Amino acid sequence: MTDEQIRDEIQRAISEERVLLFMKGTPDMPRCGFSARVSQILAASGVDYAAMDILPDPRIREQLSSLSGWPTIPQLFVGGELVGGCDIVTEMFESGELAETLGVEPPQRAEATAPQMPAQGPPLQIE
């Protein structure tokens, strides 16, 4: 697949999917804490969404960042527009703005705290 074909597929997915999360891994098997957190927030919001794993080919991330102007992953799109990454989505969830953007009922007050990042052990080191 060429870079142009990858870019076209990304653009197609953004235009066809109402809620689309570009992430590392999948919602069932996220490959980073930030991606896990945003997918948990979307699940807690009760919205149906599509997800695209950017890890199989580094050009996916390159083309996505080129299109969106956003350098980090995850990236959430709603209605073809970039909403943001993990920090922005978390803030929007906690303020109730994300529910409005998604067109869903906001979570109950006690549930309006975003899921926490999973605890991670120390990084592997080469000695």
* pLDDT attached to residue 3: 94
Quick one: pLDDT band at residue 110, thresholds 50, 70, 90? Answer: very low
Spatial separation of the C-alpha atoms in residues 41 and 36, rounded to whole Å: 9
* pLDDT attached to residue 116: 55
49-93 pLDDT tens trace: 999 999 999 999 999 999 999 999 999 999 999 999 999 999 999
* pLDDT attached to residue 122: 47
pTM of the model: 0.84
Left if phi > 0, otherwise alpha if psi is -120 to 50, otherwise beta: which for 25?
left
Q: Which of 55, 9, 53, 46 is nearest to 27 (CA)?
A: 53
Tokens read off for 108: 């109950």
Spatial separation of the C-alpha atoms in residues 124 and 11, rounded to whole Å: 36
Tell me how far the alpha carbon of residue 15 is from its chain's centroid: 16
List the domains of the chain with CATH numbers.
3-102 (3.40.30.10)
Residue 113 has pLDDT above 70, yes or no: no
Residue 108 vs residue 94, higher pLDDT: 94
